[in-house]
Amino acid sequence: MSVHQAFTPRLIAQMQTRIHCLAHELIDKAIAKGEMDLIRDFALPIPMVVISEMLGVAEQDRAAFHRWSNVMVSVSKPIDGIFAIPSLYQLVKFLRRLLGTRRQNPQDDLTSALLQASEEGSKLSEDEVVGMAALLLTAGHETTVNLIGNGVLALLTHPAELERLRTEPELMKSAVEELVRYTSPVLFATERYAREDIEMAGTTIPASEERICCTWFC
């Protein structure tokens, strides 16, 4: 698949190095300040900075890009979606302009890689590339923030496991995998509504009255 071709081993290695450095920068700031709001000062900045850098968003455009992005990922109710329309319009407009720039002048970023992959493999339309960028923004943002927040909370409520991790840092990789399982960053996927009365496991779900949320990511 062309999207898969864009995520080269070199790009993944660059992401790992950048995330490592960014995490240390944020922690150093918190130490100097003497306090930290885990979500505001650590969990939120990491995906926002990394995703904007991955896509090749210029430094002078990141304030606006982050503002539009924050509105988009904050939508939790239908009414929020209405108020998010102007930000969505600006974000899509910006992404299309970025695509045009990268076609003329490719760089070492994911946007250029997606364009190159679409030319070399099964071609992606401009709408598909924009959609992929938007998906990366929303999915990458939400899951990262939730995993960091939920993971730290789980460790704080299980002090024995936290102490074990402190004394055995080589367990970090498996600990992260276990936290993904134990406190999943995304509990539900697509919401489903019964179009007609349906029976599941001996329970009747009336049409349009009950919502079925699938699927658990555990």
Distance from the Cα of residue 100 to its chain's centroid: 24
Pair of tokens at residue 160: 């024995």
Residue 39 has pLDDT above 80, yes or no: yes
Is pLDDT of 191 > 70? no
The pLDDT of 100-117, averaged and rounded, is 84
Domain boundaries, the chain: 2-183, 187-218
Its sign, for the CA torsion 215, 88, 72, 210, is negative
- Distance, in Å, from the CA atom of 32 to the CA atom of 41, rounded to the nearest integer, reads 13
pLDDT in tens, 126-137: 888 888 887 777
Confidence label for 118 from pLDDT (cuts 50, 70 and 90): low
- Residue range 146-186, pLDDT digits in tens: 899 999 999 999 999 999 999 999 999 999 999 998 888 87
Q: What is the mean pLDDT of residues 182-209?
A: 73
The per-residue pLDDT for 87 is: 84
In this predicted model, which residue has the larger pLDDT, 104 or 123? 104
Residues 6+ apart with CB under 8 A from 149: 38, 39, 43
Mean pLDDT, the chain, integer: 81
Task: Determine the Cα–Cα distance for residues 116 and 128; give it in Å rounded to an integer.
Answer: 14
Residue 215: the pLDDT is 35
Query: What confidence score (pLDDT) does residue 188 get?
Result: 53
> Contact 51/137 with Cβ under 8 angstroms?
yes
Stretch 28-41: mean pLDDT, rounded? 94
Residue 54 burial (C-beta neighbours within 10 Å; 0-12, 13-18, 19+): buried
CATH code reported for the domain at 2-183: 1.10.630.10
Tokens 């979500």 correspond to what residue? 39
